[in-house]
A and B are shown apart, each in its own frame.
Chain A
Amino acid sequence: MKAAKGKVFKYGDNVDTDVIIPARYLNSSDPAELAQHCMEDIDKGFIDKVQKGDIIVATKNFGCGSSREHAPIAIKAAGVSCVIAETFARIFYRNAINIGLPIVECPEAAAAIDAGDEVEVDFDSGVITDVTKGTTYQGQAFPEFMQKIIAAEGLVNYINTTQSHADLG
């Protein structure tokens, strides 16, 4: 899998799906339209500042709350290449994998990386490099089964190639 590289947007604990994409915009399911309101209630200028490839870093329980897949869809469509967090809420975790948004759990990186740092993530090794600080961290590697879904860029493509989820690795 390819690596991600970009500038960091940093957030705290319990970033919920209501601030990632407020429900008042859920009358749309168009990724580009959802991206326009991504992070609006926690970081109003986010969509104007974010560049393609940028990385979100947050502490614990990122993506808690609703099951709306619109949340990882909005983040991906905003151009974000990876989300690093201490922990993710479980539905968000599944959704991100299923739509092919790379996410990495790494408490050390989540604590140490600051907003604006230039960060690189190697998805094969799980190694996170803070280029600005010159530090590296070992993120948690995905089980093989999830790596296959991510490599297929989502569950739909994966199912189309295997006709089931049965290859659980």
Chain B
Amino acid sequence: MGMTMTQKILAAHAGLDQVEAGQLIEADLDLVLGNDITSPVAIKEMEKMKVDGVFNKDKIALVPDHFVPNKDIKSAEHCKCVREFAKKNEITNYFEVGQMGIEHALLPEQGLTVAGDVIIGADSHTCTYGALGAFSTGVGSTDMAAGMATGKAWFKVPSAIRFNLTGKPSEWVSGKDVILHIIGMIGVDGALYKSMEFTGDGIANLTMDDRFTIANMAIEAGGKNGIFPVDELAISYMKEHGTRAYKIYEADADAVYDEEYTIDLSTLRPTVAFPHLPENTKTIDEIKEDIAVDQVVIGSCTNGRLDDLRIAAKVLNGRHVAEGMRCIVIPATQKIYLQAMEEGLLKTFIEAGAIVSTPTCGPCLGGYMGILAEGERCVSTTNRNFVGRMGHVNSEIYLASPAVAAASAVTGKISCPCQLT
């Protein structure tokens, strides 16, 4: 029986010719990732293991990014724990403030994730690297500890859903709208335990940043991973950002999929996920009422990349945020920050009345840098709009693209750039 792209990568890393859905395997890991929230728990667990250090100091990435620069004493203690562990174990890829960025934007940029890899990360959005044709998935701290110690992880081989993408997205429609549309269609558990495999000639019309956004939110449909075929664009991205050898795997022609969907990208509209689930989607045309907004966040591992900032700046250029609006822009890495500065995007944001922050996950998970009070509403380019996610349990998050977020900052209500005068 044919294998999916994911199954082929897993089989190769388990030393097997063939695997099938449901099979339990042990796979070799190319990279093990953790952040300042999950690594301290993993480090504590690893100390209980009868092992002498990490399996490979070059194949572990530690990225303090959630509550960094330290938001309080407890966060500082967590970061200190990670820093000391990195030093003691001579971890090559430890990223201190000044070098760090939001992990899932940073690691591909550093060339640490390439096609054909098996990657686990103690962060649910580790699935992002599927954009480059890697198998990558989120795990918890104990799996991270076991991965750091042994270089291996156990997996149940997933079945897959295939999304055949055709056509070209229209203006103001981006990767975020594609994935929100899909989550709205299949639900927050629509891909539970499964791979989301994207195929089709429409992929050629998606930028790398679009693909990172789409793969990033596979977890929001319950997916184990999201994965794209490796094309010229992905290859040139990998060559530009690193030197590691990549390996291209393709799904067999007779691979079996649990379900198949065809999505014509040209028919998609700017899409917004209403509180309190990413599946509660409406297109901009379906939103008839005025929804007043107090805050806009443009950033995160989902939408803090250069394309995202360029789109936001295009909308905000020559305009100003609405009176009383708090608009927070967070470039995801230092490199993106610098590029945005050189391109004049930061000037556009500041002149429009937005603030620009150092890289941090802060507001996305209600850590700091933009917590919501009772009754407040935020349009956010982040990935989750659960109850209390960004602050008070009676606050509301509307998930959207950078284009919609920026337009909403200007009008003070949920808007599309096409509605701006």
Contact = CB atoms under 8 A, between A and B. Distances in A.
* Interface size grouping (class) on chain A: 35 or more
A24 B142 contact: no
Contacts of A41: 387-388, 393
Interface string A59-96: 01100111111101100000000000001011100110
A159 interface: yes
B103 to A, nearest CB: 12
B124 A67 contact: yes
Interface stretch (A13-21, A110-118, A126-134): A13-21
B37 A26 contact: yes
Contact of A89 (B50, B222, B277): B222
A19 B387 contact: yes
A105 to B, nearest CB: 11
A165 interface: yes
Contacts of B67: 26-27
A164 B37 contact: no
Interface string B245-270: 00000000000000000000000000
Contacts of A66: 123-124, 365, 384
Given A23-B365, A165-B152, A67 B49 contact: no
B384 A156 contact: no
B143 A98 contact: yes
B124 A65 contact: yes
A90 B367 CA distance: 24
Interface stretch (B68-76, B88-96, B203-211): B68-76
Nearest to A168: B24
Interface in B153-169: 153-154
Interface stretch (B2-10, B186-194, B281-289, B405-413): B186-194
Contact of B387 (A18, A160, A168): A18
Nearest to B121: A67
A51 interface: no
A29 B146 CA distance: 18
B24 A98 contact: no
A90 B44 CA distance: 23
A26 to B, nearest CB: 5
B145 interface: yes
Given A27-B78, A61-B222, A156 B386 contact: no
B87 interface: no
A160 B74 CA distance: 30
B20 to A, nearest CB: 14
A61 to B, nearest CB: 4
Contacts of B126: 67
Q: Which 9 A-B pairs have the closest CB atoms?
A: A95-B140, A27-B74, A69-B140, A98-B142, A61-B189, A23-B365, A41-B388, A67-B124, A67-B138
Interface of A: 14, 16, 18-19, 22-24, 26-29, 41-42, 60-61, 64-70, 72-73, 87, 89-91, 94-95, 98-99, 143, 145, 154-156, 159-160, 163-166, 168-169
